[in-house]
Structure 1
Amino acid sequence: MRLPFAPTLPLRGSLPPPLRRGGLEGHAAKFPPPSSGGGLGWWHYAGILLATLLLATPSHAADLRVSVPTDAALETVYDHRTQACEDWDVPDAPARAWRAADGSVRLLAAHTRARTLSGPSLNELHHGCRIVFQSAKRDDPARFDDMGWLTSPYTLDGATVYGLVHNEYHGHKRRDLCPTGDYMACWWNALTLTVSHDGGESFGPARYVAGVPYRFRGDLGKRAGLFAPSNIVARDGWYYAMAFAEGIGAQKRGVCLMRTRDLGDPASWRAWDGRDFTVRFRDPYTQGEADPAASVCAPLPPDRLPFTVTSLVRHTPSGLYVAVMAGRRAERKGADPVSGVWVSTSADLIGWSAPRLAWAAPLLTDKTCAVDETFYYPAILDPDARSRNFEDTDGKAWLYLTRLAQKNCKPTRDRDLVRIMIRVEPSQSG
C-alpha cells in the first residue's frame, strides 16, 4: 500500500535525533451565566467557575509535549526474516490493536493477505500464519473488491470486530480499462467495511463505505479517491475516523474527517462539510454521478494536517487528541525541511494545532540512496490503554513503525515492525 504521504524508515540499530516539542492551542470552555435571583454574590459564582475549570482541565495544558526518552531504543516486534509466512507477509499498514473477549490482545499491521499477532498483552505477541482477510481481486471497479488492506479494526465486545479497509483498484492490470498500463495513472481508491464475528479470526466480504462521486477513468493520469483510513476513536457516542482524499473534480485534496453511530452500517458514515457532518458518500455506480459537490468532504486545514493521519490517540490526563503523521517539511519559515514523524493536537478532532516534529527519521518517500533503511506507518499504542481498542494513553506509550530495508535505492520486502518508547505530556508553558 502506498499512501499519499509515505515516510522513510530510520537505520536499523541507530536512533534518530530526539523528538522535539508538539503543541496544542488552547480552547476556552463556555459556561452558562449564573441566574439573577438568590442571595449569593458574584464572588461565589466566580469561585464555582474557577473550581469547575480546575476539575474540567486536570492538567491545565495549553500544549502537549511529545518526546522520546534519551535512553530509548528500537525494539523489534515482528522480524520478517525469521517470522514471515511468505515473502509478502510484511507490515504494510499502521499498527492497530484490540482486546479480544477472553482478554487476550490482537495486533494487526498487514499487507493484503492479512495476518495478526496475538498474545496475553501488547508486550507479549506471537505472529500467526492464519490469513484473516484478503480481497477477491475482482476486475469490475464497481465491486470495490480488488486489493484491500484491513487497516482500521474496532470492537465493542471483543467478539464482533468491524474493520475499515483501504481498497485499491489497480486499473493498470486491466488494459481494456487503462490502455497505458501505468500504475499511478489508473489507481482509484475507496474505503470499505468488513466484519468478523469470531474475534478477528476471519473477516467477511467488504462493502462500500466512502469514496469520490465519480466512476473509474483510465485516462485521468493520476490516482484518485479516499485513502488510508486512520484507526477509529469513540467520542460522545460517535465513532470517528480520518482518511486522505486526492483531489478530483469537486473533491479537494486533504484530510477528511467522518463519523458514524452504527459501525455495522457502511452507509451510515457522514463526512465533515466544513460546518457539520452532513456529507453522504454516494456510490457512483449504483447511485449515479449527479450533483457530485454534495458527496465530497471538506478537508481539514492543510497547514494543520499536511500529511495522511496514520494514528489517532487521546491523551487521557488532558483530554486532547494526538494525530500522528509521517512526512517532510520545515519546522519553521526559512528552515530546511526535515523528514520524520509529525504530530498535531486537538480538543475536538476538528480544530488542530500546527504540526510539530516528533521524531526525525528517513522516510520511505524520501527517494534517497544515502541510507540502508527507512521508516513509515507511525502509530501510537499504549499497553496500559483503558479502551478495548487502545485508543487512549496516559502519556507513556510506544511509537510503532514499519522499518524497510533498502537495496539499490529501493525498498525491499525485508520489512519489520518496530517500536520505540514515546511520552506525551502536558506542557505548562501556555
Structure 2
Amino acid sequence: MSIDCRRRIALGALILGLMAGGAEAASLPQIDLVLGGTPDVVFDMNRQSCNPPDVMPDVNPRAFRDSRGMIVFFALHSVNRTLRGPDLSHLKLDCHVVLDSGNDPDPAHYNDRNFITATWTEDGRNVAALVHHEYHADDFGRCRVNDALGCWYNTILAYHSTDGGADFIRSTPFVIAAAPFTQDVGQGRHRGFFNPSNIFSDGRYEYFFAATTGWEGQPFGACLFRSATPLDSASWRAYDGHAFSIRYVDPYRQSADAVKPCAQIAPFTSPVGAVVRARQYGLWIAVFEAQHNEDMFPVDGIYYATARDLLHWSLPKLLRAGPTISSDLCTMNNAVSYPSILADDSTGRNFDNFGSDAFLYFVVIATEHCRPGARLLMRQRLQVLPEGLRP
C-alpha cells in the first residue's frame, strides 16, 4: 500500500473519530480565538546574531521561569541558545550554547542535530527537556535514496538541566519515543517521532503530543504522552487508545518488536504546536499548522481546537490563513510556521495556561528560489471570546 493511500485511510479514521466524539465536542463552551493588532518582531536573525545560522528560529517557542523569576525562552536552532529576560516583552539573546549538536555519523549515538523543543520545571533549577533529534543519513553517505527527506530519521530524546537551563545533559533512559527500527530501515520517506509539543499539566500529570509519520501497523498523526514525574525520563508513557501503557525503547539496544501502536488523536494531522489551558473557560486550546484538504482544512494556515479531557477535541477552526512551511515554497514569498501560545499572566513556571489575553508566537520564513531563507520570530495579541462576539 502506498504512503499516500495509508495517509488517506488514516485521515478518514481521524474524521470518523471526530464524528463519534461529536457529543463531547458539542458540550464544550463555544469560543473563538481572535488575533488583534499587528504582529511584532520578537527576534530578527539578521540583527540579533551570535553565529548564523545557529540562531535561526526553527522550533515552536517555549519558555519557563527559572528560580530567580527570569524567563528562559527557546525558539532557535540545533546549536541551542536561549533568550532571557524579566518578562516576555524584554528578552535578549544569550550566546552561551546550552546544548550543542555533534553531527555524529553514528545513528546509535543520537547526536546528529538536537533541538530543545519542550521543557518542564517545578523549582526553576531542575529542568526536564524533550529534544527533537534528527539523523540525516545523506550527510554521511548512509542513505540509499537521493532525497533528503527520505533519509531523515527522527527520535525524541530526554535531557535535563540542574542549573536553571544554563546547560543540558543526557538523561537515563535517553530515548523517549522512537520508531521500532533503525535508521537504515524504510529509507525513502521521513520516519520516526518528531516535533513534540510543549509539556503541559492538568495538575496531576504532565503531557505532551508527538507527531509520527507512522509505519506498518502505526498510523501517522499525533500521539499523546503522560508522566507524573517528567524529570524521570523512564516515566513517560504513550496512549494506546485505552490507557497510557506504551514505553518506547532504543531500537539500537533493545528489541522493539513488541511495541504497540500509539493512538492517533483527532484532529491533529500534523505536529501540535502548543497546548495551553484557557483558565477563564476551563478549556485546553491546541494550535497547529495544517495543509488544505477537502475534509477539515479549507485553506493552508494555523488552526486551533479545544478540549476538556485531552482525548476528545473539537473540530478545528482557522486562526490565521496563509502558506506554511509545508506549502509549495515555489508559489509564495513568505511562509508562517511553528505556532505557540505564551502569556505573561501564566500561573506556575511553565507557561501552559493563560487568563484572558495571550500572544500567538510564530515564525515568518522568507522563501527564495523554492527554498526557505531568512526568518523572523513574531508574536501577535490573542484573545479568547465567546463564539459570535468576534469583532
TM-score range, shorter chain: 0.7 to 0.9
Residues 48-84 of structure 1 show CA distances to partners (whole Å, capped at 9, x for unaligned) of xxxxxxxxxxxx9622211112xx1010001111101
Q: Could you tell me how far apart the structure 1 residues matched to 2:28 and 2:387 are?
A: 6
Partner in structure 1 of residue 385 of structure 2:
425
Partner in structure 2 of residue 351 of structure 1:
312
> Given that residues 161 and 199 in structure 1 are in contact (C-alpha distance below 8 angstroms), is that contact kept between their aligned partners in structure 2?
yes
Root-mean-square deviation (CA, aligned residues, Å) is 2.2
Report the residue type matching 1:291 in the other structure.
A
Partner in structure 1 of residue 224 of structure 2:
257
* DSSP-derived class of the 1:267 partner: helix
Report the residue type matching 1:305 in the other structure.
F
> Given that residues 29 and 281 in structure 2 are in contact (C-alpha distance below 8 angstroms), is that contact kept between their aligned partners in structure 1?
no
1:63 and 2:21 correspond: no
Q: Could you tell me how far apart the structure 2 residues matched to 1:181 and 1:128 are?
A: 38
Partner in structure 2 of residue 14 of structure 1:
none
1:178 and 2:135 correspond: no
* DSSP-derived class of the 1:98 partner: strand
Partner in structure 2 of residue 93 of structure 1:
59
- Equivalent residue in structure 1 for 2:375, among 394, 412, 415: 415
Partner in structure 2 of residue 17 of structure 1:
none
Partner in structure 2 of residue 298 of structure 1:
263
1:200 and 2:169 correspond: no
> Given that residues 28 and 307 in structure 2 are in contact (C-alpha distance below 8 angstroms), is that contact kept between their aligned partners in structure 1?
no
Give runs of aligned pairs for residues 12-411 of structure 1, distance below 5 A. 27=24, 62-69=29-36, 72-88=37-53, 89-175=55-141, 177-205=142-170, 207-217=174-184, 220-292=187-259, 294=260, 296-301=261-266, 304-329=267-292, 337-411=298-372
Structure 1 residue 311: Cα displacement: 0.6
Q: Mind listing any 5+ residue stretches in structure 1 that lack a counterpart?
A: 1-23, 29-59
Indicate how the Cα distance of structure 1 residues 86 and 220 shifts in structure 2: closer, same or farther if over 3 A, else same: same
Q: Identify the range of structure 1 (159-168 vs 361-370) with the bigger mean alpha-carbon deviation.
A: 361-370
Identity within the alignment, %: 33
Indicate how the Cα distance of structure 1 residues 156 and 167 shifts in structure 2: closer, same or farther if over 3 A, else same: same
Q: Could you tell me how far apart the structure 2 residues matched to 1:388 and 1:209 are?
A: 23
> Given that residues 132 and 154 in structure 2 are in contact (C-alpha distance below 8 angstroms), is that contact kept between their aligned partners in structure 1?
yes
Residues 338-379 of structure 1 show CA distances to partners (whole Å, capped at 9, x for unaligned) of 121100111011111111101112222222444322210010
Structure 1 residue 143: Cα displacement: 2.3
Partner in structure 2 of residue 46 of structure 1:
none
Structure 1 residue 331: Cα displacement: 8.1
Q: 4+ residue stretches of structure 1 with deviation over 4 A?
A: 24-28, 330-333
Report the residue type matching 1:214 in the other structure.
F
Q: Identify the range of structure 1 (226-235 vs 386-395) with the bigger mean alpha-carbon deviation.
A: 386-395
Structure 1 residue 219: Cα displacement: 5.1
* DSSP-derived class of the 2:269 partner: coil
Q: Could you tell me how far apart the structure 1 residues matched to 2:331 and 2:388 are?
A: 39
Scaled by the length of structure 2, the TM-score of the pair is 0.88
Report the residue type matching 1:151 in the other structure.
T
* DSSP-derived class of the 1:172 partner: helix
> Given that residues 61 and 318 in structure 1 are in contact (C-alpha distance below 8 angstroms), is that contact kept between their aligned partners in structure 2?
no
Structure 1 residue 332: Cα displacement: 6.8
The number of residue pairs the alignment matches comes to: 365
Q: Which has the larger strand fraction?
A: 2
Q: Mind listing any 5+ residue stretches in structure 2 that lack a counterpart?
A: 1-20
Q: Could you tell me how far apart the structure 1 residues matched to 2:279 and 2:211 are?
A: 26
> Given that residues 344 and 354 in structure 1 are in contact (C-alpha distance below 8 angstroms), is that contact kept between their aligned partners in structure 2?
yes
* DSSP-derived class of the 1:195 partner: strand
Structure 1 residue 137: Cα displacement: 2.4
